[in-house]
Amino acid sequence: MTAARSSARSSLFRHRDFRRLWAGDTVSQIGAGVTLVALPLVAIKTLHASPFQASLLVVFEYLAALLIGLPVGAWVDRMRQRRVMLVGDACRALLLASIPLAAWLDVLTLGQLYVVAFGMSVGTAFFDTAFQSYLPHLVDDEQLVEGNVKLETTRNVVQVGGPGVGGAIVAAVTAPMALVVNAATFVLSFLSLARIRRPDVRPQTGEDANLRAEIAEGLRFVFGHRLLRAITISSALSNMCGTIGASMLLVLLADRLHLSSLLCGLVFSIEAIGGLLGALCVERITAKLGQGRAMWLSMTVSSVLWLLALPMYQADGRFAVALLLNGLGWVSFMTYKITGVAFRQRICPKPLLGRMTATFRFVVWGLMPVGALIGGLLGQALGPRQAMWVGVLGELLAVLPVLLSPLRTMRDLPTTPTLTTPTPVPTP
């Protein structure tokens, strides 16, 4: 068993099509790191957006999850998944390229930023649903954790430099022009995914396939499984509260503390470093603590660290302490994130993967525009730091659904796909 598992691990990067999937995702993440800094700074520094206007940009960035989050899974389950990813890359490249063009023509407005942000959210909703559903078709079940670790590790590696590079580009050529880099990376991602040789087979759907029934099946699967239901609710609350703070972070740093674009980008780079280190530690942590225990412990520790970091965001030496605590929070949180993704992929039958992923995204991402709107309203009324306090305190409460579930005492999570609604017995 050990030898076979070791062989599987050593062979995954020799998997030609996985390498191309990995390369496509990697190059797009480089540009995404740039956009993470550049797009909000276009609103804040170039167009002088208020805290509420800046939060609306975050609302539109996640609005698609709320509006089309459920049907997108059923649609993806009916489509060739690689083709969905290719179309998503092409559309996102065109949308981002429109911003520097409008800036060059001196016609850029907040309205255009909102349209681009929403279009990006639609493209990302389709791409990410197809991406997570495509991986189990590309690699064996026993390679899913390894595949997710490799993808998540690489994402965090490239995101270490992305925001910092984004801050440097913004400082050198202005925020709108920095988005040229991101548009180019989506083009490169498109070219890499297009070279995957495994046939992109159109899924078989019955003549009586019904969109409403398919959506309902995804909902029943997610909320009918006791463990998956707890993970989904905790993740949704965590994302909503996290977005309350995230929507105000750059307002606090760039507008209130007047930190440079480089320092703003450094915050996200440190988060990525923490995520990278956390991804590398996931398998060791879960082996020592057990998957269930590690999930709620990692979520709790990360929330406490982010709580301690918030008052340290100041325009002096305390900023370094905030970066350290924030990075350690992401080290901890990655155990919860990666273990949860792999569990969802293992427990779900392959024909249902798109709907399961879309249902999860609908609930988890659908609350993010709500969080951003709350953050904007609180930031406008009370100030950005006060809004962030509400968000970080909410993160502590988000662990409760997982903590009150059988995950609290479980060591190993179920691994067999099922269409039933099991109530697992905790494993001591």
DSSP 199-235: --PPPP--TT--HHHHHHHHHHHHHHSHHHHHHHHHH
Residue 203 within any structural domain of the chain: no
Check whether 120 has a pLDDT greater than 50: yes
Q: Tell me what pLDDT residue 90 has.
A: 93
Least confident among 51-65, 141-155, 299-313? 141-155
Domains contained in the chain, number? 1
174 — alpha (psi -120 to 50), left (phi > 0) or beta? left
Report which of residues 336 and 275 the model is more confident about.
336
Q: Tell me what pLDDT residue 4 has.
A: 40
Q: What is the 3-state secondary structure (H, E, C) of 331-395?
A: HHHHHHHHHHHHHHHHHCCHHHHHHHHHHHHHHHHHCHHHHHHHHHHHHHHHCHHHHHHHHHHHH
Report the mean per-residue pLDDT for the chain.
82
Check whether 9 has a pLDDT greater than 50: no
Q: Tell me what pLDDT residue 310 has.
A: 96
When pLDDT is cut at 50, 70 and 90, the band that residue 297 belongs to is very high
Predicted model pTM: 0.72
When pLDDT is cut at 50, 70 and 90, the band that residue 148 belongs to is confident
Residue 75 within any structural domain of the chain: yes
What CATH code is carried by the domain that includes residue 271?
1.20.1250.20
Least confident among 96-105, 162-171, 298-307, 322-331? 162-171
Report which of residues 232 and 351 the model is more confident about.
232
Residue 120 within any structural domain of the chain: yes
DSSP secondary structure letter of residue 307? H
Instruction: In whole angstroms, give the CA distance from residue 116 to residue 163.
Output: 20
When pLDDT is cut at 50, 70 and 90, the band that residue 7 belongs to is very low
Helices (H) and strands (E) in the chain, counts: 16, 0
When pLDDT is cut at 50, 70 and 90, the band that residue 133 belongs to is confident
Burial class of residue 132 in the structure, from the number of CB atoms within 10 Å of its CB (0-12 exposed, 13-18 middle, 19+ buried):
buried
Q: Tell me what pLDDT residue 215 has.
A: 75
Report which of residues 346 and 278 the model is more confident about.
278
Report which of residues 177 and 68 the model is more confident about.
68
Q: What is the mean pLDDT of residues 317-325?
A: 95
Range of the domain at 251: 14-195+213-408
Instruction: In whole angstroms, give the CA distance from residue 364 to residue 75.
Output: 19
The pLDDT tens digits of the residues spanning 179-238 come to: 887 788 889 999 988 888 776 666 665 544 566 777 788 888 888 888 889 999 999 999
Q: Tell me what pLDDT residue 6 has.
A: 43
Choose from 8-12, 386-390, 419-423 the range with maximum mean pLDDT.
386-390
Q: Tell me what pLDDT residue 233 has.
A: 93
Check whether 139 has a pLDDT greater than 80: no
Q: Tell me what pLDDT residue 261 has.
A: 78
Report which of residues 23 and 53 the model is more confident about.
53
The pLDDT tens digits of the residues spanning 372-420 come to: 999 999 999 999 999 999 999 999 999 999 999 888 877 777 666 655 4
Residue 1 within any structural domain of the chain: no
The pLDDT > 70 percentage for the chain reads 83
Check whether 132 has a pLDDT greater than 60: yes
Burial class of residue 254 in the structure, from the number of CB atoms within 10 Å of its CB (0-12 exposed, 13-18 middle, 19+ buried):
buried
Q: What is the mean pLDDT of residues 256-266?
A: 85
Distances (CA, A) of 256 to 243, 347, 383: 19, 46, 9
Q: How far is CA 94 from the centre of its chain?
A: 22
DSSP secondary structure letter of residue 399? T
Distances (CA, A) of 391 to 242, 246, 421: 6, 9, 33
